[in-house]
Amino acid sequence: MGVGMKLTSLKHLVIIPFVLLIGCSGTTKKEIPPKIYSVNTLMMEFYPEAQDWSEQAYLESVSYILNVDSTTNSYMSFLTPTLPNGNLLLKINDDGSFEATPMGVEKSFSPTPPLINFIEIDSNEALKIFYDNELVQKGLRKYPPYSLNFEFLSSSCTLPIWGLSLYFPGIPGSLHFYLNPITMEVMENQDFYESSDYTLICEN
């Protein structure tokens, strides 16, 4: 009787792990967003550097380059109305070191409103929304993340837009996604540009 009970228990021990293996084999690992500086943190830490260059510099765009080695470079572009075509680009590394490069702006460029007026969703939250999207997760299985940008897509746009690019150097077919600022929906590049919301934001 005791031997029969042991054999039954052994059968259960063998069957249960086997079932667990079968059940887990079809699952796909979800990609986790990298940690990046928040825009508000960047402004607190590095805006004084821009002010030293020009008292009236304001944030025009912010970009994060997501490197393959898991490090991040943050870029803040500042405009100033006090200098003709004045632009300052700050590159901030993972360790907090930075490089400042004064640059010219193309004459055809029309200044946009200060970006800081529109930051309702910060960078880490935007990145999480992208990574929670099924289309983005599918894309991440093909390409690594390349950049996260918050910018006015053109000078005619009334709202800045978060965009995520997936790209691997040397391989054509990069994927681009936008976070619709009206619906908070993640949309593929072409779908967003053809949407009525894009027309409302950038072509009215």
Q: Which amino acid is at 74?
A: S
In a domain, 32, yes or no: no
pLDDT surpassing 90 at residue 133: yes
d(CA 25, CA 135): 21
d(CA 136, CA 175): 9
Which is it for strands 72-80 and 58-66: parallel, antiparallel or unpaired?
A: antiparallel
In a domain, 15, yes or no: no
Q: Provide the domain count of the chain.
A: 1
pLDDT tens digits for range 97-124? 999 888 766 555 567 888 988 999 999 9
d(CA 29, CA 125): 21
Is 160:138 a contact under the CB 8 Å cutoff? no
What phi and psi values does residue 56 have, to the nearest 5 degrees?
-110, 20
Task: Show Cβ contacts of residue 64 under 8 Å, excluding neighbours closer than 6 positions.
Answer: 36, 37, 72, 73, 74, 75, 123, 147, 148, 149
In a domain, 170, yes or no: yes
In a domain, 152, yes or no: yes
Tokens 């901030």 belong to which residue?
92
- Provide the percentage of residues in the chain whose pLDDT is more than 90: 50
Task: Show Cβ contacts of residue 159 under 8 Å, excluding neighbours closer than 6 positions.
Answer: 118, 152, 181, 201
- Find the domain containing 87 and state its range: 39-202
User: Is the C-alpha dihedral spanning 144, 147, 150, 154 positive or negative?
Assistant: negative
In a domain, 59, yes or no: yes
d(CA 50, CA 76): 10
d(CA 164, CA 149): 7
In a domain, 23, yes or no: no
In a domain, 11, yes or no: no
pLDDT tens digits for range 50-71? 877 777 788 999 999 988 788 8
- Give me the mean pLDDT over the 25-35 stretch: 80
In a domain, 156, yes or no: yes
- Give me the mean pLDDT over the 172-195 stretch: 94
Q: CB atoms < 10 A from the CB of 31, how many?
A: 14
Whole-number mean pLDDT of the chain? 82
